[in-house]
């Protein structure tokens, strides 16, 4: 499970959707959450870069600074089993501008519907986690984080990764269409 997730995180880096340590990911297990450690770089991510943390309470290990967001999403939206958060250039540009994306522009992203922008909140805060849960609780599978990137979820890690890839492609196409390039 973690070996495959590591390879998928490396794929996100190869595609330019995350640089340096500007991203995090998690998987919901039966008895624990597996989350990338703090400052881990997706480009060379390995099984050793994942940390096990409880479903509730302080993780007490060197997990991503966004651990609270992952934990709260898994607690409040039990159908979600995987989360990917990174800062792809085009999707993040829309987030910085406070503009959502229209998933209905493309057949392959129609499941996204209208992708909202979660209001600005400090990274790692309960406020950010609450905003993300509110954006996803109606069955959405993606959202933008104001001035902070994008987040996708899935029933599997592969699904969450593919949604991030499609989200970035949607942002590129929406930009081109909007500006009639």
pLDDT per position as a tens digit, 86-114: 999 999 999 999 999 999 999 999 999 99
pLDDT at 60: 82
CA distance 176 to 181: 5
pLDDT digits (tens, 9 = 90+) for 130-144: 999 999 999 999 999
Active site residue 66: yes
Backbone conformation region of residue 48, classed left if phi is above 0, alpha if psi is from -120 to 50, else beta: alpha
Tell me whether strands 142-145 and 117-118 are parallel, antiparallel or unpaired: parallel
Pairing of strands 82-86, 23-28: antiparallel
CA distance 39 to 30: 26
Could you tell me which residues are beta bridge partners of residue 26? Answer: 35, 83
Query: According to the CATH classification, is domain 2-178 in 3.40.50.360?
Result: no
Helix (H, G, I), strand (E, B) or coil at 26: strand
Q: Provide the residue ranges of all domains of the chain, joining segments of one domain with +.
A: 2-178
Contacts of 55 (CB under 8 A, 6+ apart): 28, 31, 32, 33, 71, 74, 75
Give SS3 for 77.
Answer: coil
Does 181 score more than 70 pLDDT? Answer: no
Is a pLDDT exceeding 90 seen at residue 147? yes
68: left (phi over 0), alpha (psi -120 to 50) or beta: alpha
What is the tens place of the pLDDT at every residue in 3-32? 999 999 999 999 999 999 899 999 999 999
150-178 per-position pLDDT tens digit? 999 999 999 999 999 999 999 999 999 99
Phi-psi region of 135 (alpha: psi -120 to 50; beta: other; left: phi over 0): alpha
Q: Is residue 179 over pLDDT 90?
A: no
pLDDT score of 134: 97
Q: Tell me: the pLDDT tens digits for 36-93? A: 999 999 999 999 999 999 999 888 888 889 999 999 999 999 999 999 999 999 999 9
The catalytic residue among 4, 41, 43, 66 is 66
């Amino acid at each position: 499970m973690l070996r495959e997730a590591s390879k998928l995180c490396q794929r996100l880096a190869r595609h330019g959707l995350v640089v340096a340590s500007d991203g995090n990911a998690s998987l919901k297990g039966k008895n624990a959450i597996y989350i990338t450690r703090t400052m881990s770089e997706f480009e060379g991510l390995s099984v050793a870069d994942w940390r096990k943390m409880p479903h509730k309470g302080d993780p007490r290990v060197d997990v991503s600074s966004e651990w609270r967001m992952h934990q709260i999403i898994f607690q409040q939206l039990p159908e979600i089993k995987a989360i990917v958060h990174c800062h792809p250039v085009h999707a993040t540009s829309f987030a910085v501008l406070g503009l959502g994306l229209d998933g209905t522009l493309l057949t392959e992203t129609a499941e996204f519907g209208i992708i909202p922008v979660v209001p600005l909140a400090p990274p790692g805060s309960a406020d950010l986690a609450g905003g993300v849960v509110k954006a996803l609780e109606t069955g959405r599978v993606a959202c933008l984080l104001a001035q902070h990137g994008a987040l996708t979820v899935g029933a599997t890690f592969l699904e969450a990764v593919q949604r991030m890839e499609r989200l970035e492609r949607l942002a590129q196409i929406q930009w081109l269409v909007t500006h009639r390039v």
